[in-house]
Chains A and B, each alone.
Chain A
Amino acid sequence: MSIVELCQAIQQTAWATRFRQADLFFPLVEGTHILSLSLSVGLILMLDVRILRLGFQSEPVSRIMRQVMRWALPGFAIMFVTGVLLFLAQAESVYTNSYFRVKMLMLLLLGINAAVFQFKYFPSMVVWDSGEAVPAGAQVIAVVSLIFWMVVIACGRLMAYEL
């Protein structure tokens, strides 16, 4: 069974159909998904800004990171859960949508971006935490984060404009 066929099967299940036909499910789940951008992407912005020394320069990077992650992690969890629900409700329509595919690719790259930061730059953070110089690599990661999140948000919006 191909992935498209699997998605078709999911879309045709009774509960997926019920989700789509319910008046409130979509508005509630999609609304939460979009509003939670503020709790996820909106907060990551704060960390990116500090890494690029565009703000909060008086604060150690680790302190900003700690405060951001406290709320960004649950924020991203909400994005993930609502995203999965939205996918399951319309698996085939969404899987065959080009903007969805670009969005997923971007999310994968963002995941890799975060992992590189976590494994390459985070361990040595105590060295550059309060100093003037942030490793160039970490700055690139912050820039990639800013740009790619904008692309993800735009793709999310554009999904609706492909039949």
Chain B
Amino acid sequence: MKIKLLALSILLLLAIPVLAHHSFAMFELTKDVTYEGTVVEYRWENPHTHIILKVDSGAADPSTVGTWDIEGGATSIMGRQGWTRSTFKPGDHAKLVAHPMKDGVTKGASLFYAIMPDGKRLYHDIARPKGEASGSN
């Protein structure tokens, strides 16, 4: 009886992805893609900050053309890296490095860092590129 219960519960848990019918929002964490375009929306909010970025058809990387939802972290976490509620505003030009979504269809990406006009990098969190020391604030 107990084994049957356990089996049933495991089956039910595994069924969740099927029930949900959507793909997970998992990002291609090993891919760093540069998105350069115009900010449509800058949503400084919890649980995630979102930058909606429109990349025009003349872009250097054709796979980045379109309007993207680039998701950052919580406001406190981004704030500690130097982000503020007015770092970007609609109409600004922005250059963002992010990890695109795995499914290759949905135009969503996980923000890694922004390259500011002065060349400085604004990271979303303490994570740094491979080889660089991390955790130094």
Contact status A146-B9, CB under 8 Å:
yes
Contact status A163-B25, CB under 8 Å:
yes
Q: Does A162 contact B (CB under 8 A)?
A: yes
Contact status B12-A151, CB under 8 Å:
yes
| B interface bracket (residues with beta carbon within 8 Å of A) | 20 to 34
B24 CB to nearest A CB, Å: 5
Residue in A27, A143, A155, A163 whose beta carbon sits within 8 Å of that of B71 in the complex:
A163
Contact status B108-A163, CB under 8 Å:
yes
Chain B interface helix/strand/loop/mixed: mixed
Stretch at the interface among B39-47, B56-64, B129-137: B39-47
A94 CB to nearest B CB, Å: 10
Contact status B16-A154, CB under 8 Å:
yes
Stretch at the interface among A14-22, A58-66, A127-135: A14-22
Summed over the interface, the residue pairs from A and B with CB atoms below 8 Å come to a total of 65
Contact with A along B99-112 (1 / 0, CB 8 A): 00100001010000
Contact status A163-B106, CB under 8 Å:
yes
Question: With A162-B22, A162-B24 as given contacts, are A151 and B16 in contact (CB-CB < 8 Å)?
Answer: yes
Within 96-155 of A, Cβ neighbours of B (below 8 Å) are at 98-99, 102, 143, 146-147, 150-151, 154-155
In the complex, which of the residues B25, B47, B74, B76 has the most CB atoms of chain A within 10 Å of its own CB atom? B47
Contact status A158-B45, CB under 8 Å:
no
Bound form: Cα–Cα A150–B13 in Å: 8
Contact with A along B1-38 (1 / 0, CB 8 A): 00001001100110010011110111000000000000
Contact status B8-A147, CB under 8 Å:
yes
- A-B residue pairs in contact (CB < 8 Å), sample of 6: A21-B45, A27-B46, A146-B5, A150-B12, A161-B25, A163-B106
